[in-house]
Structure 1
Amino acid sequence: MRSLLRLWPYVRPVRARLFTAAFIAILASCIGLVIPLVLKWMVDGPIADRDPAGVWLGALYLLLLGLAEALLFGLRRWLVARPLSHVEAEMRADLYRHLQRLPIAFHDRWPSGQLLSRATTDLMLLRMFLAFPLTFLLVNGVTILVGVIIMLVQEWTLGLVILVPAVPVLITCVIFEKRYSGAARRAQDQVGDLTTVVEESVLGIRIIKGFGRHRSQAMAFRKLSGDLRGTELHKARLLATILGVIVTLPELAIGAALVLGAVQVADGSLSAGTLVAFLSTALALRWPVDSIGFLLAMSQEAATATERYFEVMDAEPESGTAGPRTAEAAGSRTRPRVDDGDGDGDGDGDGDGDGGLVFHSVGFRYPDAPEGSPPVLHGIDLHIRPGESLALVGATGSGKTTLTALVPRLHEVTEGRITLDGRDITAMSRAELRARVAVAFEEPTLFSATVGENVLMGGGTGEEDLTRALAVAQADFAHALPRGTDTQVGEQGLSLSGGQRQRLALARAVVGRPDFLVLDDPLSALDVHTEAAVEAALRRVLADTTALIVAHRPSTVLLADRVALLSGGRITAVGTHHELLRGNPEYAHLMSGAPAGEQEDQR
């Protein structure tokens, strides 16, 4: 109940219709309990008196009661259908909105299939629970209570016989609920794992086919599917057990009441009509009692689905402005210096450190990093002047991509601060920050949309900006596609080559004419001739933009005014390409592409 009560904020707007539907369902069930009383009247009256007119009148009463019960249940269904589909849609929209606001660290930890199953299967279970079990746990409870009272009033001795199974049934329900809860959670988690495998196999179909791994993938899928099947069978066994108890014990009680009642009718202490009415009431309660098992099962699955839903919704979103540090506290830290020869010891090659993009003793550690592990970045002091381009060079794993992700706050710095034109980025809203900073990642991601829609996600206002961005990125191939820039690129853009996707990603970064540009090795998938053409166009863009460019090749480095060498999570040198090439052996080694031993021989 603690889990399910968390659904109240979503249910509250439609509570009037749900309460009305529940009341109508209770009324319909109570009408069903009137039918045995009409039967009693018919047996003890018209049938005993051999009155055909009375029998026909009783039959009419039964028909009217049956029609009323059916119409009321139909009205209940109509009342709940629209509001509950609205509740499901609202919860799904909230989940999607929340996922967009969660930090990158959350998405790094969570498999996409688990998130997808929460947005689909779990929400479907919640809608079904609100539509049926929630109402009928109440309705059936009231029906059983009213029915038992009617039976005790008619013949209390037979009523006590019917109540004998109540205690073992309740004990069984408590045990079932505890055991079924764990099985339901395990099954829903396994559905998420299975969804992840299917999604990865579809997106990675080229790898699977290219390496002939379809059999191993099929085996992995079969194992997960088998685990899920085993869990579902365990759930079925638990449900079969409780249904066996719930169905068998009341049936035995009804049989005993039938025998005892027949004896009482035979000796004249009970009328035949009363016995018919009593047994009819007991039989009318069979469905409310028999349904307890699967209503509890559906409620447990809904409770588990609610827990899984709010596991995501409870995750802390990205803060709108300030982070855990203050600018004053960050600025007051004693920080290591990198000597760049300008006399100020800040490693930026400039003495003022105000304008442009500035890293002030920046450090970063991943949130889920083990205790005591060294930070990925520490003591980063760097200044990119307004209108300047800085290339960031370092060995694989040195932290280049992590450093670039700190600028648009895809990750939050854990030490120090970053400023744009003198303003701490944590004091800016993410909307403002990301309107000023554009990013092109090493792995270009495109969406199932048109070429134009993919590019204009980076900003821009129309066809003119789109055409200019495509020209800068040398992505004019888009105009030759079947429907030009209105061509759908397909999921992940896999209908395009790697170089084409990368050029569209670059066009997306420059389309909004950003103040600051962060490029993570943006030309890695291009051939030599296309790279040269893109570089020529990109130079014109970089002339008016402050840019941080992750580079691995000399041709990309030469786009920048200066170069910073990142080694061991720290900036160890800053200068021009030629200065570092002459004076820094590590940089010369990275740019030469020679094996380490050969580089040593050359030195």
Structure 2
Amino acid sequence: MPTTRATTEDRSAVRTLARLWPYVRPVRARLFTAAFVAVVASCTGLVIPLVLKWMVDGPVAGRDPAGVWLGALCLLLLGVAEAVLFGIRRWLVARPLSHVEAEMRAGLYRHLQRLPVAFHDRWASGQLLSRGTTDLMLVRMFLAFPLTFLLVNSVTILVGVVIMLVQDWTLGLVVLVPAVPVVWTCVIFERRYAEVARRAQDQVGDLTTVVEESVLGIRIIKGFGHHRSQARAFGELAVGLRGTELRKARLLATIWGVIVTLPEMAIGAALVLGAVQVADGDLSAGTLVAFLSTALALRWPVDSIGFLLAMSQEAATATERYFEVLDETPEDGPAGAAPGPAPRGATAPGEARPAAAARGLRFEDVRFRYPDAPPGSPPLLTGVDLHIRPGESMALVGATGSGKTTLTALVPRLHDVTSGRITLDGVDITAMPRAELRARVAVAFEEPTLFSTSVGENVLMGAADGTGRKELDRALAVAQAEFAHDLPDGTATRVGEQGLSLSGGQRQRLALARAVVGRPEFLVLDDPLSALDVHTEAAVEAALRQVLSDTTALIVAHRPSTVLLADRVALLSDGRIAAVGTHHELLRDNAEYARLMSGESEEQEDIR
């Protein structure tokens, strides 16, 4: 997993949250309306102290029951109006914000599909899951509540302070004394809470990773009796997360203590001073009641500053983590990027078709080093030159770690070459849109991956939309996967997660059927028969020969039976193509190949 813990020293929460604007813009009218309604509702509450002043200095002092009832009716109407306005605000934001969250989640998923395999190799899946679930929930909560109420409470406090100063400026200054220490505490809190919030959300991602890996690897855990060690590992991460959450709680308790205590002390001082003024006749009782009622009405806007800032910081951290993924460059480059010059060997529209010698699949001086390889380390592939002629099948043989699987991954551009080029019928694969390239090249890996859909849907992933039942049955027959018809619901039977409800050989045969169902021009098979028994392997090979006669194929192999499927064999050694020839030629003339085929090499592999 990459280092995802970002420092917060130079981060601006405002700048980070501003990146949400493109998602918020389509619903801005409802959000602005909701904010305006909330401001009106909050200011409506500040009218109540003024009504109380009128009642105390008027009807109450004058012993006028009718006036008291009138004032009570006004208070009731103001309270109902405030409640209704806040209800309207809630209704205005609910639907658009759920839409924003859904759009952001869909955008994240689409972007993940476009990111290169190297990105997914580096990132833990739990970190990506937490960004698409927990983080986006925090963003939605911020847009629904803190974003609005930071504005509403600021306006409410400003209006309330003006009302108090108008009532009695000396008492107003007393209440304003805590403003400086409260603001200073908020600044310190915001910086420290941002660091802890980031740590907590990263730890949630780590915890999610452990849970996911434990569920997917439950057979290994049980088989080796490691449930206790896994539980300990999970417990350590959970304890770490608990400690971080407790630190968040301590920070929140500290700022809340300051924000609550200092204003309460100021209100108490204002009450004593105001009572003395009333006793001296310098202040009316109604004015003191109105002043204190206004001060108490501002308790909620002031007290909420702490957790509103906390929620804002968590949302800023969640937004930062979300855009860490979206800022990764996808396989086809940044959206809207202007196309550059065609790579060497590319065929522009209208140009003549390549000469026969250039047709087929060709590797030209291909070198490859993984992007995260240590600096100075030698490349895995060095100067690979290989030509597979149209309609020819080539077996690729080599010792463990020689780079066979990596070489096959370069053809569909799961990784891009470091230098050199690969061409299909004379056209550099980097000049093709990936969708076109992968429509022409089908792949089957040694470790088959199936999805939690039906058998038929898994196989037809390798075909164009609209491929019918006939092609599905043909592919199953080629891969000797007719067992699918005997499942409870036939090819409509849903397989479990990763296809683990099937045997390894069954999964591998379905993966092979997926590779051949679309009748691809080019076929790349990474030891596709390794999990099959001898009899099934022989049947699959017999059917596969008919498929290979109509396509250009590169087949990674270890066993002579698989090698014999190919017209020629290439030996990959030390990152280079050491020899090319038929199986019998290499067996006779190349000692390394003979050792690999005879099983005498200590490095005889399970293929990688």
Match of 1:466 among 451, 466, 472: 472
- Check conservation: 2:345, 2:426, Cα contact below 8 A: no
d(CA) in 2 for partners of 1:562 and 1:530?
23
Quick check: 1:59 aligned with 2:72? yes
1:165 aligns with 2:178: yes
Instruction: Measure how far apart 1:352 and its partner are.
Output: 6.2
Contact 1:391-1:548 within 8 A present in 2 as well: yes
**What residue is the counterpart of 1:496 in the other structure?**
502
Q: Secondary structure at the match of 2:577?
A: strand
In structure 1, the residue matched to 2:569 is: 563
Distance in 1, Cα, partners of 2:90 & 2:54: 32
Larger deviation, residues 178-187 vs 360-369: 360-369
After superposition, the Cα gap between the structure-2 partners of 1:140 and 1:578, relative to the gap in structure 1 and judged at 3 Å, is same
Q: Do structure 1's residue 548 and structure 2's residue 554 form an aligned pair? A: yes
**Matched residue type, 1:508:** R
* Equivalent residues of 2:346, 2:426 under 8 A apart: no
Alignment of 1:132-147 (within 5 A): 132-147=145-160
**d(CA) in 2 for partners of 1:34 and 1:399?**
77
- Report the RMSD for the aligned CA atoms in angstroms: 1.7
Q: Paired residue for 1:582, among 571, 577, 588?
A: 588
CA distance in 1 between counterparts of 2:182 and 2:343 reads: 64
Would you say 1:533 and 2:577 are equivalent positions? no
Structure 2 residue 434 is the aligned partner of structure 1 residue 427:
no
Q: Say yes or no: does 1:486 pair with 2:492.
A: yes
Distance 1:537 1:254, change over 3 A: same
TM-score by length of 1: 0.94
Match of 1:191 in 2: 204
Q: Secondary structure at the match of 2:344?
A: helix
> Structure 2 counterpart of 1:507, which letter?
A
Whether 2:404 is the aligned partner of 1:400: answer yes
Secondary structure of the structure 2 residue equivalent to 1:241: helix
Determine if contact 1:323/1:426 at 8 Å carries over to the other structure: no
- In 2, the alpha carbon distance for the partners of 1:330 and 1:488 equals 43
- Give 2:373's aligned residue: 369
Is 1:448 the equivalent of 2:452?
A: yes
Contact 1:355 1:421 in 2 (8 A): yes
CA distance in 2, matches of 1:462, 1:4: 48
C-alpha distance in 2 between matches for 1:421 and 1:178:
58
Measured in 1, the distance between the counterparts of 2:346 and 2:501 equals 47
Aligned equivalents of 1:549, 1:325: Cα separation in 2: 33
Cα drift, residue 414 of structure 1: 1.1
Partner of 2:233: 220
Cα distance in 2 between the residues matched to 1:322 and 1:213: 53
Q: In the alignment, which residue of structure 2 is the partner of 1:506? A: 512
Work out the CA distance in 2 between the residues paired with 1:382 and 1:530: 31
SS in 2 for 1:328: coil
Match of 1:130 among 115, 138, 143: 143
Alignment partners' CA distance in 2, 1:376 and 1:393: 16
- Cα deviation for residue 323 of structure 1 reads 9.9
Q: Offset of 1:490 from its aligned partner?
A: 1.3
Query: Secondary structure of 1:198's match?
Result: helix
- Residue 462 of structure 1 deviates from its aligned partner by 1.4
Residue 595 of structure 1: how far off its partner (Å): 4.3
Secondary structure in structure 1 of the residue aligned to 2:133: helix
1:353, CA displacement in angstroms?
3.8
Question: Is structure 2 residue 528 aligned with structure 1 residue 522?
Answer: yes
Inter-partner Cα distance in structure 2 for 1:372 and 1:595 = 29
Q: Distance in 1 between matches of 2:478 and 2:339?
A: 36
Distance 1:466 1:439 in 2: 17
What is the SS of the residue equivalent to 1:363? strand
Shift of 1:368: 1.3
- Give 3-state SS (helix, strand or coil) of 2:19's partner: helix
1:422-476 Cα deviation digits (max 9, x unpaired): 1111111111100000000111000010000000000050111110000000000
SS of residue in 1 equivalent to 2:543: helix
Partner AA of 2:139 in structure 1? L
Residue deviations 1:292-327 (CA, integer Å, cap 9, x gap): 000000000000000000000000000269999963
Match of residue 213 from structure 2: 200
Equivalent positions of 1:150-299 (< 5 A) are: 150-299=163-312
CA contact (8 A) 1:327 1:417 kept: no
Task: For 1:596 and 1:408, locate their aligned partners in 2 and report how far apart those are by CA, in whole Å.
Answer: 31
d(CA) in 2 for partners of 1:496 and 1:420? 35
SS of the residue corresponding to residue 417 of structure 2 reads: coil
CA apart distance, 1:186 = 0.2
Q: Find out whether 1:328 has 2:334 as its counterpart.
A: no
Letter in 2 for 1:412: D
- The aligned residue for residue 350 of structure 2 is none
Distance 1:238 1:132 in 2: 21
Q: 3-state SS of the aligned residue for 1:184?
A: helix
CA-to-partner distance for each residue in 1:349-370, whole Å, 9 max, x for gaps? Answer: xx96401000111111111112
**2:10 alignment counterpart:** none
Which letter does structure 1 place at the counterpart of 2:343?
A
Query: Contact 1:361/1:415 (CA < 8 Å) preserved in 2?
Result: yes
- 1:356 is aligned to 360
Q: 2:386 aligned with 1:382, yes or no? A: yes
Task: Please tell me the residue identity of whatever aligns with 2:46.
Answer: L
Q: Structure 2 vs 1, CA of residues 597 and 484 (structure 1 numbering), >3 Å: closer, same or farther?
A: closer
Report if aligned partners of 1:38, 1:62 keep a CA contact under 8 Å in 2.
Answer: yes
* 2: CA distance, partners of 1:260 / 1:18: 42
State the partner residue of 2:327: 314
Checking the alignment, whether the CA contact within 8 Å between 1:388 and 1:543 is kept in structure 2 is yes
Query: Amino acid of the residue matched to residue 592 of structure 2?
Result: E
Alpha carbons of structure 1 residues 167 and 231: separation in structure 2 relative to 1, 3 Å: same
Sort the Cα spacing of 1:524 and 1:324 in 2 relative to 1 into closer, same or farther, 3 A: farther
In 2, the alpha carbon distance for the partners of 1:407 and 1:593 equals 29
8 Å contact from structure 1 (residues 194, 221) kept in 2: yes
1:79 to 74, 81, 92: 92
Q: What is the alpha-carbon distance in structure 1 between the residues aligned to residue 544 and residue 338 of structure 2? A: 34
Counterpart amino acid of residue 195 in structure 2:
G
Corresponding residue number in structure 1 for 2:6: none
What CA distance in whole angstroms lies between the structure 1 residues aligned with 2:177 and 2:327? 45
3-state SS of 1:439 partner: strand
Q: Distance in 2 between matches of 1:596 and 1:78?
A: 70
2:418 counterpart residue number: 414
Structure 2: stretches of 5+ with no match in the other structure: 1-13, 348-354
TM-score, L = length of structure 2? 0.94
Aligned to 1:39: 52
Q: Kindly indicate whether residue 28 of structure 2 is the aligned counterpart of residue 15 of structure 1.
A: yes
Residue of structure 1 in register with 2:351 after alignment: none
CA 1:79–1:161 in structure 2 vs 1: closer, same or farther (change >3 Å)?
same
Question: Aligned partner of 2:65: which letter?
Answer: P
Contact 1:387 1:544 in 2 (8 A): yes
Q: What CA distance in whole angstroms lies between the structure 1 residues aligned with 2:83 and 2:65?
A: 27
* 1:347 corresponds to: none
Q: Measure the CA separation in 1 of the matches of 2:67 and 2:16.
A: 54
Q: How far apart, in 2, do the equivalents of 1:104 and 1:330 lie?
A: 24
Kept in 2, the 8 Å contact 1:322–1:428? The answer is no
1:334 equivalent in structure 2: none
The aligned counterpart of 1:49 is: 62
